[in-house]
Amino acid sequence: MSTSIKLTSSDLLQEVLIVEVEKYEHLYNPKAMDKDFNSCESSWQEISSTVNLTVPETKRLWYNLRERYMNERGKHSKSDWHLYDVIDFLEPHIKRGQADTNESLTGKGFIMDSDDDDVNTPSTSLAIGRTHYSLKAKTNGITKLKKETRLSSRKQDNETTIFLDFVGKQLDRLPVPERSSCYLEIMQVLNKYTQESAR
Q: Residue ranges per domain, the chain?
A: 1-199
* The predicted structure's pLDDT at residue 8: 54
**pTM of full prediction above 0.75:** no
Going by C-alpha positions, the residue among 63, 59, 61, 67 that lies closest to residue 106 is 67
Integer-rounded Cα Rg, in Å, for the chain is: 18
| pLDDT tens figures, 150-190 | 555 555 445 666 677 677 777 777 887 787 788 788 888 87
| pLDDT tens figures, 1-50 | 434 444 457 878 898 999 999 999 888 888 877 777 888 899 999 999 98
Output the 3-class SS for the chain: CCCCCCCCHHHHHHHHHHHHHHCCHHHCCCCCCCCCHHHHHHHHHHHHHHHCCCHHHHHHHHHHHHHHHHHHHCCCCCCCCCCHHHHHHHHHHEEECCCCCCHHHHCCCEEECCCHHHCCCHHHHHHHCCCCCCHHHHHHHHHHHHHHHHHHHHCCCCHHHHHHHHHHHHHHCCCHHHHHHHHHHHHHHHHHHHHHHHC
Please state, in angstroms and as integers, the Cα–Cα distance from residue 187 to each residue in 11, 51, 147, 198, following that order: 12, 7, 25, 16
* The predicted structure's pLDDT at residue 26: 86
CA 1 to chain centre: 28
* The predicted structure's pLDDT at residue 17: 92
Q: Within 13 Å, how many C-alpha atoms sit on residue 193's CB side?
A: 5
| pLDDT tens figures, 98-133 | 233 333 333 333 334 333 333 333 333 333 333 333
